[in-house]
Amino acid sequence: MDWLTEFPQIGGRNLRLMSRTIDQQYRAFSRAFGNDIEALFRPLLDFLLWFEKLLLQTPWWIVIAVLVAIVWFASRSKGITAGTFVALMLIGIFGMWEDTMRTLSIIIVCTLMSIIVGLPIGIIMSRSDKVQAVINPILDVMQTMPSFVYLIPIVMLLGIGLIPGLIVVVIYAMPPIIRLTNLGIRLVDKEVLEAANAFGSSSWQKLTQVQLPLALPTIMAGINQTIMMALAMVVVASLIGVRGLGQPVLQAITNQYFTQGVLNGMAIVAIAIIFDRASQAYGKRLQRHREAAHG
């Protein structure tokens, strides 16, 4: 047999053998440590369930009033605020309120987790080119890997449920906040930092009183993108038990329920637009305030 035809067969056998070995080792790892890893994330799950219950049990008009007030505070735009009110009312009228509240709770919790984990990583990256060189390829993989691929190792490790869903959404949504925190801090004017050094500021004082405030508009852009990516995972995460607007969309695809799929998809779009417009408007306000302060 010619080596050109023999080589792929040998390579294929080796690849299958290696894959089988890795699969066996991963299964052994999941059996040994799966419960411990799940217990580690149990407080996060408890917080999510509490927040979801709070949104579901609070009267709808109070929830709408609070959300509209938050959007008004962030955007100071009558158009965005009125659009938010109309969208939330339509969501309730078409019977999607409970699923929307579940989606809202997981998006808010996952965004908070992404900020808590991603912000320090972005700060560390901004302080060291070597750390940036190590983390950037990891972020590239996280952003380019197909979303369904995230499900495979996590479902094998933790099974089906809310905890693996939370982890999948956080992993998928975290890269933008890390990248833009790093970028925002690196873009702070060197003359401002020199002035802070001249006043004898410590590294912590420079970070909290100079770098982070000046980088806040860029960080807000990262938070905006993190929210959008978390929303993009809603339908995919419904495959592993995440409740909310993604499940009716998945049912509509499976059973060919056109109206149900379109309405729930439009609800996801409405929530995405509300978050996007409010966070963008808030970021622009921060930018104008920064420019006025330095003008």
User: What residues have CB less than 8 Å from 127, skipping those under 6 apart?
Assistant: none
User: Can you point out the beta strands (E) in the chain?
Assistant: none
pLDDT at 1 (0 to 100): 46
What end-to-end distance do the CA atoms of the chain give, in Å? Answer: 77
**Residue 224 in 3-state DSSP?**
helix
Cα(87)–Cα(266) distance, integer angstroms: 10
Predicted local confidence at residue 294, as pLDDT: 57
Let me know the angle formed at the C-alpha of 109 by 180 and 36, rounded to the nearest 5 degrees: 105
* DSSP conformation class of 58: S
The whole-angstrom separation of Cα 87 and Cα 94 is 11
Question: pLDDT value at position 23?
Answer: 73
CB under 8 Å to 56, separation ≥6 — which residues? 98, 101, 102
Q: Which fold has domain 41-57+97-294?
A: MetI-like fold (1.10.3720)
Q: How far apart are CA 240 and CA 257, in angstroms?
A: 21
| Residue whose pair of structure tokens reads 């109206």 in the numeric block | 259
- Gap between the Cα atoms of 252 and 271, Å rounded: 19
pLDDT in tens, 13-23: 667 777 778 77
pLDDT in tens, the chain (295 residues): 455 555 555 556 667 777 778 778 877 877 887 788 788 888 888 888 899 999 999 999 999 999 999 999 988 889 999 999 999 999 999 999 999 999 999 999 999 999 999 999 999 999 889 999 999 999 988 888 877 777 788 877 777 778 888 888 898 899 999 999 999 999 888 888 888 888 888 888 888 888 888 888 889 889 989 998 888 887 788 877 778 888 888 888 778 788 888 898 899 889 988 988 888 888 777 777 666 655 5
The pLDDT score that the predictor gives to residue 2 is 52
